[in-house]
Amino acid sequence: MPANPRYRIQTALIAMACAVLASCSSSGGSAINPANWITPYKIDVIQGNFVSREQIELLKPGLSREQVKGLLGTPLLASLFHADRWDYVFTLKRQGVEPQSYKYTVFFKDDQLVRFEGDTMPTEAEFISSLDSRRKLGKVPVLEATEEQLKAAEKSSASKPGASAAPADSAPAAAQTTVYPPLESPKQ
């Protein structure tokens, strides 16, 4: 009894699929393996307080703890064992970008700022520009019209049928007010 042609096709397709998968795993090239084409989405992980160079420049010895907290925010680490030390740590981990980490420490004596030290902090503008990982689309066009372009636009709008050219010094027409019904029905 001859075999059903449908089973022959299924068997051939299964054999081809096995051969393709075996060749993908043995080739060693990650670009060929379809499993490497898809990467899972990883969320941005932001921890701590970002302290900018502008904030650091406002620090000076003699400030109280409250003044330092007002300038830099609440410290990420304030240890019971080191009560006179606050650590400001900021880390940012994003997919496809090198992780960023900044550390800054302030030291107190008798609730007065004595000294501060840490990494060289970026300015706010530098930090924001480092966050922009979007694709650059090229030069942004100028969004200003020249006098000639404005005059040409006025002429083209005045020449359209039904367009009325109002004098520049006339007052605009009164805006129509629309009255809408209440959102809720009155209580009965």
DSSP secondary structure of 17-79: HHHHHHHHHHH--TTT-GGGT-------EEEE----HHHHHT--TT-BHHHHHHHH-S-SB--
How many domains does the structure of the chain reveal?
Answer: 2
Summarised one tens digit per residue, pLDDT across range 60-114 is 999 999 999 999 988 888 777 878 899 999 998 888 788 889 999 999 999 899 9
Summarised one tens digit per residue, pLDDT across range 35-48 is 667 777 788 888 88
> Are residues 126 and 53 part of one domain?
yes
Domain final position from 108, 131, 154? 131
> Are residues 86 and 26 part of one domain?
no
What domain range includes position 106? 45-131
Here the CATH number for the domain that contains residue 78 is 3.30.1450.10
> Are residues 93 and 16 part of one domain?
no
> Are residues 23 and 100 part of one domain?
no
